[in-house]
Amino acid sequence: MSDLFNPKQISQWYEEHYSNLALYCRQWLPQSEIEDAIQEVFLKIVQKRITPENVKAWLFRSIRNASLNRLRTGKRRTHREKETMSLADSWFEDRPDDQIDSETAQTALNELKADEREIVILRIWGETTFEEIADICAISTATAFRKYQSGLDTLRNRMEKPCRKHQK
Protein backbone atom coordinates (compact mmCIF):
# COMPACT_ATOMS: atom_id res chain seq x y z
CA MET A 1 0.00 0.00 0.00
CA SER A 2 1.15 3.45 -0.80
CA ASP A 3 0.67 6.60 1.25
CA LEU A 4 -0.07 8.65 -1.85
CA PHE A 5 -3.68 9.78 -1.83
CA ASN A 6 -5.49 11.07 -4.88
CA PRO A 7 -9.26 11.77 -4.60
CA LYS A 8 -9.66 11.98 -8.39
CA GLN A 9 -8.12 8.52 -8.70
CA ILE A 10 -10.61 7.12 -6.19
CA SER A 11 -13.47 8.56 -8.22
CA GLN A 12 -12.05 6.93 -11.35
CA TRP A 13 -11.76 3.55 -9.57
CA TYR A 14 -15.36 3.86 -8.41
CA GLU A 15 -16.59 4.55 -11.94
CA GLU A 16 -14.42 1.80 -13.40
CA HIS A 17 -15.17 -1.01 -10.93
CA TYR A 18 -18.62 -0.28 -9.45
CA SER A 19 -20.72 -2.50 -11.74
CA ASN A 20 -18.35 -5.49 -11.46
CA LEU A 21 -18.19 -5.12 -7.68
CA ALA A 22 -21.99 -4.92 -7.53
CA LEU A 23 -22.37 -8.12 -9.55
CA TYR A 24 -19.83 -9.86 -7.32
CA CYS A 25 -21.77 -8.79 -4.19
CA ARG A 26 -25.04 -10.22 -5.47
CA GLN A 27 -24.03 -13.72 -4.49
CA TRP A 28 -24.15 -12.68 -0.82
CA LEU A 29 -26.20 -9.52 -0.46
CA PRO A 30 -29.63 -8.34 -1.58
CA GLN A 31 -29.68 -5.41 -3.99
CA SER A 32 -30.66 -3.03 -1.20
CA GLU A 33 -27.34 -3.59 0.64
CA ILE A 34 -24.92 -3.70 -2.29
CA GLU A 35 -24.44 0.03 -2.77
CA ASP A 36 -23.84 0.52 0.97
CA ALA A 37 -21.20 -2.22 1.01
CA ILE A 38 -19.37 -0.74 -1.97
CA GLN A 39 -19.47 2.74 -0.46
CA GLU A 40 -18.03 1.37 2.80
CA VAL A 41 -15.06 -0.04 0.89
CA PHE A 42 -14.36 3.24 -0.88
CA LEU A 43 -14.81 5.11 2.38
CA LYS A 44 -12.00 3.00 3.87
CA ILE A 45 -9.66 4.21 1.13
CA VAL A 46 -10.59 7.81 1.87
CA GLN A 47 -10.39 7.45 5.65
CA LYS A 48 -7.09 5.58 5.66
CA ARG A 49 -5.73 7.71 2.81
CA ILE A 50 -4.18 4.66 1.15
CA THR A 51 -3.50 3.64 -2.41
CA PRO A 52 -3.46 -0.18 -2.82
CA GLU A 53 -0.73 -1.65 -5.02
CA ASN A 54 -3.22 -3.83 -6.93
CA VAL A 55 -6.40 -1.79 -6.81
CA LYS A 56 -8.73 -4.30 -8.48
CA ALA A 57 -7.69 -7.21 -6.26
CA TRP A 58 -7.87 -5.00 -3.15
CA LEU A 59 -11.36 -3.78 -4.05
CA PHE A 60 -12.70 -7.28 -4.72
CA ARG A 61 -11.13 -8.65 -1.53
CA SER A 62 -12.45 -5.72 0.49
CA ILE A 63 -15.96 -6.01 -0.96
CA ARG A 64 -15.88 -9.75 -0.29
CA ASN A 65 -14.92 -9.11 3.34
CA ALA A 66 -17.51 -6.35 3.72
CA SER A 67 -20.21 -8.60 2.25
CA LEU A 68 -19.31 -11.53 4.48
CA ASN A 69 -19.19 -9.26 7.54
CA ARG A 70 -22.68 -8.03 6.73
CA LEU A 71 -23.85 -11.64 6.60
CA ARG A 72 -22.22 -12.46 9.93
CA THR A 73 -24.11 -9.71 11.69
CA GLY A 74 -27.39 -11.53 11.09
CA LYS A 75 -28.78 -13.80 13.81
CA ARG A 76 -29.28 -16.72 11.46
CA ARG A 77 -26.48 -16.66 8.92
CA THR A 78 -27.38 -19.87 7.13
CA HIS A 79 -31.03 -18.91 6.87
CA ARG A 80 -30.14 -15.49 5.54
CA GLU A 81 -27.78 -16.82 2.87
CA LYS A 82 -30.47 -19.15 1.53
CA GLU A 83 -33.10 -16.43 1.66
CA THR A 84 -30.81 -13.95 -0.08
CA MET A 85 -30.07 -16.35 -2.90
CA SER A 86 -33.72 -17.19 -3.44
CA LEU A 87 -34.94 -13.58 -3.24
CA ALA A 88 -32.02 -11.93 -5.05
CA ASP A 89 -32.83 -9.59 -7.89
CA SER A 90 -32.04 -10.88 -11.32
CA TRP A 91 -28.30 -10.85 -11.87
CA PHE A 92 -28.63 -10.24 -15.59
CA GLU A 93 -30.77 -8.01 -17.72
CA ASP A 94 -32.54 -9.64 -20.67
CA ARG A 95 -31.54 -8.26 -24.05
CA PRO A 96 -33.10 -9.33 -27.35
CA ASP A 97 -29.70 -10.12 -28.90
CA ASP A 98 -28.57 -12.46 -26.09
CA GLN A 99 -27.82 -16.02 -27.09
CA ILE A 100 -28.66 -17.40 -23.65
CA ASP A 101 -31.63 -16.86 -21.39
CA SER A 102 -30.68 -14.70 -18.40
CA GLU A 103 -32.96 -16.63 -16.04
CA THR A 104 -31.38 -19.93 -17.09
CA ALA A 105 -27.90 -18.46 -16.60
CA GLN A 106 -28.77 -17.12 -13.15
CA THR A 107 -30.31 -20.43 -12.10
CA ALA A 108 -27.23 -22.30 -13.31
CA LEU A 109 -24.93 -19.91 -11.41
CA ASN A 110 -27.01 -20.24 -8.24
CA GLU A 111 -26.69 -24.02 -8.43
CA LEU A 112 -22.88 -23.94 -8.47
CA LYS A 113 -20.95 -24.55 -5.29
CA ALA A 114 -20.45 -21.20 -3.56
CA ASP A 115 -16.67 -21.15 -4.06
CA GLU A 116 -16.95 -22.09 -7.74
CA ARG A 117 -19.64 -19.44 -8.32
CA GLU A 118 -17.48 -16.81 -6.66
CA ILE A 119 -14.47 -17.68 -8.82
CA VAL A 120 -16.47 -17.81 -12.07
CA ILE A 121 -17.96 -14.39 -11.33
CA LEU A 122 -14.57 -12.94 -10.42
CA ARG A 123 -12.93 -14.30 -13.56
CA ILE A 124 -15.64 -13.51 -16.12
CA TRP A 125 -17.43 -10.40 -14.83
CA GLY A 126 -14.76 -9.14 -12.45
CA GLU A 127 -12.14 -9.57 -15.17
CA THR A 128 -9.60 -10.70 -12.59
CA THR A 129 -6.55 -12.89 -13.15
CA PHE A 130 -6.13 -16.23 -11.40
CA GLU A 131 -3.39 -14.65 -9.29
CA GLU A 132 -5.84 -11.92 -8.18
CA ILE A 133 -8.54 -14.53 -7.51
CA ALA A 134 -6.08 -16.53 -5.40
CA ASP A 135 -5.29 -13.41 -3.39
CA ILE A 136 -8.95 -12.40 -2.98
CA CYS A 137 -10.11 -15.87 -1.91
CA ALA A 138 -6.94 -16.82 0.03
CA ILE A 139 -6.29 -19.93 -2.07
CA SER A 140 -3.53 -21.02 -4.43
CA THR A 141 -3.53 -20.02 -8.09
CA ALA A 142 -3.81 -23.69 -9.07
CA THR A 143 -6.87 -24.14 -6.85
CA ALA A 144 -8.46 -21.02 -8.32
CA PHE A 145 -7.91 -22.35 -11.84
CA ARG A 146 -9.21 -25.83 -10.95
CA LYS A 147 -12.38 -24.46 -9.31
CA TYR A 148 -12.93 -22.12 -12.27
CA GLN A 149 -12.68 -25.03 -14.73
CA SER A 150 -14.99 -27.14 -12.58
CA GLY A 151 -17.52 -24.32 -12.39
CA LEU A 152 -17.42 -23.78 -16.16
CA ASP A 153 -17.86 -27.51 -16.78
CA THR A 154 -20.88 -27.57 -14.48
CA LEU A 155 -22.37 -24.48 -16.15
CA ARG A 156 -21.79 -25.93 -19.60
CA ASN A 157 -23.52 -29.19 -18.64
CA ARG A 158 -26.50 -27.38 -17.12
CA MET A 159 -26.91 -24.80 -19.86
CA GLU A 160 -26.54 -27.02 -22.91
CA LYS A 161 -29.88 -28.06 -24.25
CA PRO A 162 -30.01 -31.54 -25.70
CA CYS A 163 -31.04 -31.60 -29.33
CA ARG A 164 -34.30 -33.29 -30.19
CA LYS A 165 -33.88 -36.36 -32.30
CA HIS A 166 -35.57 -35.97 -35.62
CA GLN A 167 -38.10 -38.72 -36.11
CA LYS A 168 -38.71 -39.98 -39.62
Residue-wise pLDDT tens digits, 56-108: 999 999 999 999 988 887 545 456 556 665 555 555 555 666 566 667 778 88
What domains are there in the chain, each with its CATH number? 1-89 (1.10.1740), 93-160 (1.10.10.10)
On average, the pLDDT of the chain sits at 82
**Is a pLDDT exceeding 60 seen at residue 149?**
yes
Closest of 93, 130, 128, 92 to residue 108, by C-alpha: 92
Which residues does residue 51 pair with via DSSP β-bridges, in sequence order? 2
* pTM reported for the whole predicted model: 0.62
Cα distance between residue 162 and residue 168, in whole Å = 18
Rg (CA), the chain: 18
C-beta separation of 71 from 80 below 8 A? yes
Which pLDDT value is given to residue 84?
62
